[in-house]
A and B are shown apart, each in its own frame.
Chain A
Amino acid sequence: MFHWLEKHPFFFAVGVFLVISFAGLVEILPNFAQQSRPVIGTAPYSTLELAGRHVYIKNSCNACHSQLVRPFKSETDRYGHYSLSGEYAYDRPFLWGSKRTGPDLMRVGNYRTTDWHENHMKDPAGVVPGSIMPAYRWMFTNTADIDTAFAEQLTVAQFFSVPYNQPVPMKDGSTKVVKMGGSVAEANALALAEAELIAADMKDQDVKDAVANGQIPEIVALIAYMNSLK
């Protein structure tokens, strides 16, 4: 059989393809529907948080920081409850990372504040002596891309039925509605309102001025995203 295949490239290629696709069919397909269900307490990202997530991705934060707490005592002691599949239901893409040059950030919103992030992103070694993380000072001057975040919200709401403007159940029995603008102007206004709350907790005068003028620096969006990680 093998000698025959080696003389017939077409059937050889078909054979190879069948053999290599087998694992994917068995391993990957069957679990799709089950795992994308959100757990209670998981809400979609707001426009500003999503813009912050884009800043996180743009700077490949995931190259050094994981977002996956494994079920070991040492990890739950350090980072909080181990990760559940449903907590990632709105993560497109997933940001688990593959290397912890820095600590895990899955629940960083539980134990770091806006103020801490502001100082840390300007001068990491000043906040954590010995840190090898580079500073991200350009985030204080670059403007966040709210339009693209809004476009992504619209896309996921349309194609994947992500529940924007709908009540989602919270852990304490209440519900929460994550608002999505009806137009670009409205989306920007929503993001700005959220940014003002963050900027109020910050010290950098340029950032405060920018937000007062209706501009949202990348750092504000990023902090909104980090604060949402719980």
Chain B
Amino acid sequence: MENRPLEYDYTVAKMFMLTTIVLGIVGMLVGVILAFQLAYPELNLVLGEGLAEYTNFSRLRPLHTDAVIFGFTLSGVFATWYYVGQRVLKVSMAESKLLMFLGKLHFWLYLVVVAAVVVSLLAGVTTSKEYAEFEWPIDIAVVVVWVIFGISMFGLIGIRREKSLYISVWYYIATFLGIAMLYLFNNMEIPTILGQSAAGESGIGAWYHSVSMYAGTNDALVQWWYGHNAVAFGFTVPIVAMIYYFLPKESGQAIYSYKLSLLSFWGLMFVYLWAGGHHLLYSTVPDWMQTMGSIFSVILILPSWGSAINMLLTMKGEWQQVAASPLIKFMVLGSTFYMFSTLEGPIQAIKSVNAIAHFTDWIVGHVHDGVLGWVGFMIMAALYHMAPRVFKREIYSKSLMAAQFWIQTVGVVLYFTSMWIAGITQGMMWRAHDEFGNLAYSFIDTVTVLHPYYAIRGIGGLLYLVGFLMFAYNIYKTMSARRVEESELQNASPMGA
């Protein structure tokens, strides 16, 4: 009895796995549409003139970013937390009725917020701040969902059997705290229904409209402190949490170095927050903040590479697994893209490089080699690892998985290479002067030249979406398979249990 492994309850994890896949498809599909709209503007009218307002690039763009950040990625974070959390804390959610209830409440409220966001963004109800477009009623709902997530997380930690918190749990805790702090401060706003006219009228205009507490430069400063660190605590910290759990589990290898993980965790926590200033180089924010943003961005290479190298060295002596297992391929290429992306970012944060790169597609390329190559690959790998264990069925097809890996890898490469060329081309053309000191190109020259790169980017994005649909199909066939495994899949290694 004593030695029987714990039975974990994956009800909530399964729910969030579903939204990870569905919202992933939605977000990526919208992304592909946007990409082709830039190459072929007629596509803005894809559903006809009557619906042009809702199929137009500018209306869809926030829907894409928010669907992949708060839909796909965040669902993936929640799904993995409700799986990893129980296992590393050695406690089942079924042991507490309250935690089970909170977990389900978390999911259903999250769905309500997602629905509200989709409707409001399509209607053009937005605050304009990137990744913080939601108006105050939705902001309040987001905070409620987040608090429930927090209670549910700390509740599980509170009743844990394993006293020491595993590295992944550090990162999940940091995700919760970081996003909470950033979201609250960036979304400080005053609903305009509070305004009272001299004639004594109140409650004037749209009830959901609000005005930012910060003006101009301050608003920009807070927004990019948020925007940059939403990437930190949404796209880096929880994804590192995943790889620290899933790579050792899948490969049967112990983490290479505890000290390195300690250094990279606390280093990342301290350094990341300073780097937001690199979004505001040559703007009207004070020079010293811009310089701090640049310097800390370069320092950020250390903790980022610390984690990534720790992961790659975890595979030491076991590299044949990369060739043998498509799942390991996803994770190893994911951490390689993480290294690549965290080197590229600091380069773009150097002032003289930023002068060319800022406002161009090179930045878009940088974001996407991070999110497609690192975040997307890692979340899919996590779900592939979880699926046989939560559904108690073998993965439907390993060869489909391998094919998906290569299709998506080609997609990512096409995406970022085309965006590099587009970005640097445009940046150089904007600043080119002729022999008399006049501007060499009109703005439209620098747009039409990008057409082939926009088309290639669209194809790259489409390949990634095709791969994601293969992933969705593979997971669907896995969960709906007839054959049920009696006992949980065991790994060959001693870490398997």
Q: Which residues of A contact B (CB under 8 A)?
A: 2-3, 6-7, 9, 12-13, 16-17, 19-24, 27-28, 31-32, 35-36, 54, 57-64, 66, 68, 70-75, 77-78, 83-85, 87-103, 125, 128-138, 145, 147-160, 181-184, 186-187
Contact = CB atoms under 8 A, between A and B. Distances in A.
Interface stretch (B73-81, B99-107, B174-182): B174-182
B41 A132 contact: yes
Contact of A36 (B38, B163, B201, B216): B216
Contacts of A35: 216-218, 284-286
A137 B52 contact: yes
B355 A70 contact: yes
A94 to B, nearest CB: 4
Nearest to B292: A27
Contact of B444 (A21, A90, A129): A129
Contact of A99 (B193, B363, B432, B448): B363
Contacts of B447: 101-102, 130-132
Interface stretch (B122-130, B243-251, B331-339, B404-412): B122-130
B114 interface: no
B214 A66 contact: no
Given A90-B215, A184-B197, A16 B355 contact: no
Contacts of A136: 56
Contact of A183 (B56, B201, B285): B201
B319 interface: no
Interface of B: 37-38, 41, 44-45, 49, 52-53, 56-59, 61-62, 124-130, 154, 157-158, 163-165, 170, 173-174, 177-178, 181, 185, 190-199, 201, 204-206, 209, 211-212, 214-223, 225, 262, 266, 269-270, 272-274, 276-277, 279, 282-286, 289, 292, 296, 355, 358-361, 363-364, 430-433, 438-439, 443-444, 447-448
Nearest to B266: A19
B225 A24 contact: yes
Nearest to A54: B209
Contact of B57 (A78, A87, A92, A134): A134
B439 A20 contact: no
A58 B124 contact: yes
B283 A83 contact: yes
A24 to B, nearest CB: 6
A137 to B, nearest CB: 7
Nearest to A147: B205
Contacts of A132: 38, 41, 447
11 contacts: A6-B165, A16-B269, A31-B289, A59-B124, A64-B57, A91-B219, A92-B211, A132-B38, A138-B52, A184-B199, A184-B201
Nearest to B195: A154
A158 B197 CA distance: 10
Given A88-B284, A93-B219, A158 B196 contact: yes
Contacts of B214: 32, 92-93
A54 B364 CA distance: 26
A184 to B, nearest CB: 6
B76 to A, nearest CB: 21
Most chain A CB atoms below 10 A, which of B45, B201, B262? B201
A38 B58 CA distance: 30
Given A20-B178, A58-B124, A92-B211, A6 B170 contact: yes
Given A35-B284, A88-B220, 7 more contacts: A2-B262, A32-B218, A60-B58, A84-B284, A103-B443, A130-B448, A147-B204
Given A19-B266, A62-B128, A103-B443, A156 B211 contact: yes
Given A60-B126, A85-B216, A152 B284 contact: no
B209 A60 contact: no
B165 A9 contact: yes
A70 to B, nearest CB: 4
Given A151-B192, A182-B198, A92 B355 contact: no
Contact of A89 (B125, B215, B289): B215
The 3 closest A-B pairs by CB, nearest first: A88-B216, A154-B195, A148-B205
B61 A68 contact: no
B461 to A, nearest CB: 16
Contact of A78 (B44, B274, B443): B443
B176 to A, nearest CB: 8
A155 B215 contact: no
A181 B197 contact: yes
Nearest to B167: A6
B31 to A, nearest CB: 13
Contacts of A59: 56, 58-59, 124
Nearest to B173: A13
A24 B185 contact: yes
B198 A183 contact: yes
B129 to A, nearest CB: 6
Contacts of A155: 190-192, 194-195, 211
A39 B276 CA distance: 26
Given A63-B57, A92-B214, A132-B447, A9 B273 contact: no
A12 B57 contact: no
B218 A148 contact: no
A94 B220 contact: yes
B44 A134 contact: yes
Contacts of A20: 174, 177-178, 181, 269-270, 272-273
